[in-house]
Amino acid sequence: MAGSVATGVERLAELVRESGSVVALTGAGISVPSGIPDFRSPGTGLWEKVDPMEVAHIDVFLRDPERFWHFYGDRFATLRDKAPNGAHAALVELEARGHLDAVVTQNIDMLHRRAGTRELIEVHGTIATSSCLACGATFELEEARARLAADGAVPRCDCGEPLKPDVVLFGEMLPLGAMERATELATNAELLLCVGSSLEVYPVAGLPEITLAAGGRVAIVTQGPTSFDTAAAVKLDGDVVAELEALLAAL
Three-class SS of 153-179: CCCECCCCCEEEEEECCECCCCCHHHH
Quick one: DSSP state of residue 29?
G
Strands 138-140 and 163-167: unpaired
**Is 88 an active-site residue?**
no
Helix segments in the chain, DSSP class H: 2-18, 46-49, 52-55, 58-63, 65-80, 86-96, 111-115, 141-151, 176-188, 207-213, 240-250
Asked if 26 and 119 touch (Cβ cutoff 8 Å), the reply is no
C-alpha span between 8 and 16 (Å, rounded)? 12
DSSP letter for each residue of 48-86: HHS-HHHHSBHHHHHH-HHHHHHHHHHHHHHHHT----H
Active-site residues, by number, are 124
